Structure 1
Amino acid sequence: MKFLFIADPLQGFSVKKETTLVMMDAAHAAGHEVWHCRIDDLKSISGQIKSHCQKLSIKRNEPNWFEVLKAELCELSHFDFVIMRKDPPFDMNYVTATWFLSEAVRQGVRVLNAPEALRNHSEKLALLEFMEFAPPTIISHQLVDIKAFHEQHQDIIIKPLDGMGGMGIFRVKADGLNLGSIVETLGNLGERALMVQKFIPEIAKGDKRVLVIGGEPVPYSLARIPQGGEVRGNLAAGGKGIAQALTPKELKIANYLGPILAKRGLHLVGLDFIGDYLTEINVTSPTCFVEITEQTGHDVAKQWLQNLENTFK
């Protein structure tokens, strides 16, 4: 089969930790063709969705980990699977790419995750559909709402809706120090809505990433544990990743949400948990394959590929 991965430039991949790379490697090792393009390579020519693509040979453990076998303009309909793995930010370039991919789907192309589902599931606001699993949460432009929430809960977390890797996350304790300044800065004086959640002390034990593939949870999470006085557990913010078996609560929620999200075309999802609370639903380019595989021996990329092959025979 032919796989096209839409992702960031290959030269920027972290060879040791890149989830997209191990997905490519798994497909390549199974004998499938692996191709790559960027979102700005997508175009419509005479109504057909096409892209400038590179066919790759993957050599993951070598210094030069990929070789370009050929490069050509391809119709997306020539691929068996188009895997959308562009990292955030979820900006207009990203949205435009999903519009191209929606037309490709209409033309019979299989795209995962589905472009409509990517547009419809903000990684922060998607939580609103499943508030029974979430901590106390509000989303608002207004400082008055955030002040009232802080007065009620005393210890809160504030974060932008379009952040990634822990960027822009602030904790405000009971003294309310700098609350107004933080909200004005993050919210650009009310122009941007902010997510505010009650602080969960269990963050000390990790912000856990639970991966769900084709509606089925991976049996291990990656607990991203804050280091050095940080409140953020994100690996990009210096968190330490420790793989752990899923708790009964995590497994229950993942088993409930998995089939719902898979039915919408979200083949790969990353559910974030702090304590027993679901805090985010990540759909753009969930990570942590490498860390879980290395620490547990459970080959997450192999599970991803086998699920995909079995589901879409």
Structure 2
Amino acid sequence: MRIAFFVNSIEDETPNFSTTTLALAALNMGHDICYVTPEDFVLRDDDSLSVWGRVLPSSSYKKPETLHRDLQSDKSEAKRFDIGEIDVLFLRNDPSLDATNRPWAANIGVIFGRMAAQRGTLVVNDPDGLAQAQNKLYFQDFPSVVRPTTLISKNIVEIRAFIDGQKGGAIVKPLQGSGGKNVFKIASPKDQNLNQIFEAVSGEGYLIAQAYMPEATEGDVRFFMMNGRPLMREGKYAAFRRVPAKGEIRSNVHVGGGPAPVEVTDTMLKIAETVRPKLIQDGMFLVGLDIVGDKVLEINVFTPGGLNNLSTMYDTNFSESVITALEEKMTIRDGYNKRISNRELATL
């Protein structure tokens, strides 16, 4: 099969991205791949849809660094594919990265993903599901038992009152965004920095204030789910702890958080079972839960990262399991006598 990986830009890809790990696994399993960006779709007057995919010069790589080097070099070339030649369109872009400087690009994956799905290409995660998840309000649709106490507002009076009701303080962050950008811990409503933080963060829109959880000092757990179930391979869970750097409240790896092995608990599995129905309903094929204690702080449905860390940490290639699942979906689709919806196939 041919898998097209949709990303924000070729230039911003790195050897450590999960997309690189997935692309490497697909190639080594005998599949064709290409990279697609927001600029690469073409819809013609006859209603035909095509994409300009960047193709690598080799089908055999041993290291992600080599694949990435060729992707970034003149050795890779752009080739036009009719959408019918793309078996799987894997949406791996982060809309928040384009929201400010390229707002036209933020929703392109969802828009053309829908068109691709209508023409028979499997699109994961399901574009209609992703359309509901453009910001962190999506998280509020999950059962309240797994969510920390939360306020969403742009009103400083409301936010101060909320913080005043949280004995351990609160975390304040923008509703739109990712990667730990503009995330602050506020100890009390009298915090001298609150006004400055409010002015800085509210410029990006609504704010989320969440009750601070003391367990967060140990970091959060990135817990992968695939097809609505915990991602497992060779008896191991695709999960790891992200330990914050000294003096840092954020666990994100790119701000110094260090990955560490974690023992999956019954509490984590119970959380996974609780969010499972919603993930399946929305066609969320591959997601990353960020768990602290008995709560989920965020659900990453666009670009859950860390597959490269898992392979090293547990000496097993979870990316191969992801590609195998896509293979199985192609078999299921081909075996159906009647058309199966993209959303249903995405989580079968």
Rounded Cα–Cα distance in structure 2 between residues aligned with 1:60 and 1:14: 16
Deviation at 1:106, TM superposition (A): 1.5
Residue 109 (structure 1) aligned to one of 118, 121, 130: 121
Alignment check: 8 A CA contact 1:55 1:69 kept = yes
Tell me the equivalent position of 1:178.
193
Supply the AA of the counterpart residue of 1:228. K
Change in CA separation of 1:84 and 1:260 when aligned onto 2, cut-off 3 Å = same
Alpha-carbon deviations, 1:105-153, whole Å to 9, x = none?
1222211111111110245212211222111111111111101101101
Counterpart residue number, 2:323:
305
**1-side partners of 2:31 and 2:76: how far apart?**
14
Please identify which structure carries the higher strand content: 1
Q: Establish whether residue 34 from structure 1 lines up as the match of residue 41 from structure 2.
A: no
- What is the aligned-residue RMSD (CA, Å)? 1.9
Within 5 Å, give how 1:43-192 maps onto structure 2: 43-46=42-45, 47-56=47-56, 57=58, 59-61=61-63, 64-65=66-67, 66=70, 68=75, 70-89=77-96, 91=99, 92=103, 93-130=105-142, 131-154=144-167, 155-174=169-188, 175-188=190-203, 192=205
- How far apart in 1 are the matches of 2:186 and 2:179? 19
Task: Give the secondary-structure state (helix, strand or coil) at the position aligned to 1:245.
Answer: coil
Matching residue's letter, 1:50 = S
Alpha-carbon spacing, 1:169–1:28, altered in 2? closer, same or farther (3 Å): same
Using the alignment, how far apart are the partners of 1:194 and 1:184 within structure 2? 11
Q: Render the CA deviation track for 1:193-226: whole Å, top value 9, x for unaligned.
A: 1111011111121121111111121214221111
Distance 2:114 2:11 in 1: 28
**Helix, strand or coil: the match of 1:5?**
strand
SS at match of 1:73: strand
Q: Distance in 2 between matches of 1:123 and 1:304?
A: 25
Q: Helix, strand or coil: the match of 1:83?
A: strand
List structure 1 runs of 4+ shifted beyond 4 angstroms: 67-70
Measured after TM superposition, the shift of residue 59 of structure 1 is 2.4
Does the Cα contact within 8 Å between 2:135 and 2:177 map onto a contact in 1? no
The answer on whether the counterparts of 2:34 and 2:53 sit within 8 Å (CA) in structure 1 is: yes
Q: Is the 8 A contact 1:214 1:259 kept in 2?
A: no
In the TM superposition, what is the alpha-carbon distance from 1:308 to its structure 2 partner?
2.0
Q: 1:137 to 1:70 in 2, by over 3 A?
A: same
CA contact (8 A) 1:123 1:280 kept: no
Gaps of 5+ in 1: none
Between the aligned partners of 2:259 and 2:122, the Cα distance in structure 1 is 33
Q: Which residue of 1 aligns with 2:346?
A: none
Match of 1:214 in 2: 227
CA gap of 1:307–1:255, structure 2 versus 1, over 3 A, is farther
- Per the TM alignment, residue 64 of structure 1 is displaced from its structure 2 partner at its CA by 4.1
**1:214/1:308 contact within 8 Å kept:** no
Give, in whole Å, the separation in 1 of the partners of 2:257 and 2:123.
32
The DSSP-based 3-state class of the residue aligned with 1:40 is: coil
Aligned mates of 2:113, 2:207 — CA distance in 1: 29
Whole-Å Cα distance in 2 between the matches of residues 246 and 88 of structure 1? 30
Structure 2 equivalent of residue 245 of structure 1: 263
Between stretches 219-228 and 27-36, larger displacement belongs to 219-228
> Which of 220, 242, 247 is the aligned partner of 1:224?
242
Q: What secondary structure, in the 3-state scheme, does the structure 2 residue paired with 1:308 have? A: helix
* Number of matched pairs: 310
TM-superposed CA distance for 1:35, in Å, is 1.2
2:313 is matched with which residue?
Answer: 295
TM-score when scaled to structure 2?
0.83
Report sequence identity in percent.
Answer: 27
Query: Structure 1's 63 and 143: CA in aligned 2 closer, same or farther, altered over 3 A?
Result: closer
For 2:63 and 2:316, the matched residues in 1 are separated by: 19
> Greater shift after overlay, 285-294 or 34-43?
34-43
